[in-house]
Amino acid sequence: MATNPLMAALATPEARQRYQAYWLALGEFIDCFARAEVGLHIAFKHLTKMPDPVARALLSGARIEVTIGYLRRLAEVEFIDATEWKELEPVLTHLNDINDVRNSLLHYGAQKVEEGKAFITNVFRALTLDRVVKTPISPMKLSAMTYDLRKIYLHLSARHMGRDDLTANYPEVKDVLAAAWRYIHVPPPQKPTADKPQKRRSRHR
């Protein structure tokens, strides 16, 4: 009788522990991502001065990258105050970087978790081999992104939702906002593209 490779891998206490740590970190990450997404929508309504029903009609079902794209365009035409945008733009860029990881996790899942060498890859769905991407993932990396998602929500809540300045009454909030991001985004390496051969001109006219 053939043995299921996954069940065999989970037969050791170390493998089960790795899976438990991974799923725990993943669940916390997904929950905090959802909260950051809600925070972005609330901030969007404030920044655009958009009535709630209109914002719901526009953003219902919109992905994070779409909402961020709207804000970038509004900043480009100077609808959003330049000083506020200077503060907000790095936060949105980092949220978008985390969103890329989140999308890969949900669409492709992770492999080799039980071995402690987990990674995400689009190898089974990439259109061509040169588009295959492999990204390491771990409970530590998930925890770093989870911390940053909480920090992102705090950024949005404290400075971009029209509320009173929280840093005046809560100095610790200012310290958190000034702290460095824990997740370091590393873009996938760009593979060189071969030069296309030039077509020979016909000698006949």
User: Do residues 137 and 118 lie in contact, with contact meaning Cβ atoms separated by under 8 Å?
Assistant: yes
Average pLDDT of the residues of the chain: 86
Nearest to 48 by CA among 78, 71, 15: 71
pLDDT for res 200: 53
Q: Which candidate, 68, 105, 62, 107, places its Cα nearest to that of 88?
A: 68
Residue 37 in this model has a pLDDT that exceeds 80: yes
CB 55 within 8 A of CB 67: no
- The structure tokens listed for 149 are 């998602």
pLDDT digit string, tens, across residues 48-81: 988 888 888 888 878 899 999 999 999 999 999 9
Encode pLDDT of 174-188 as tens digits. Answer: 888 889 999 999 876
Q: Which two tokens stand for residue 43?
A: 């901030």
- Residue 15: in which H helix or E strand, if any? helix 13-48
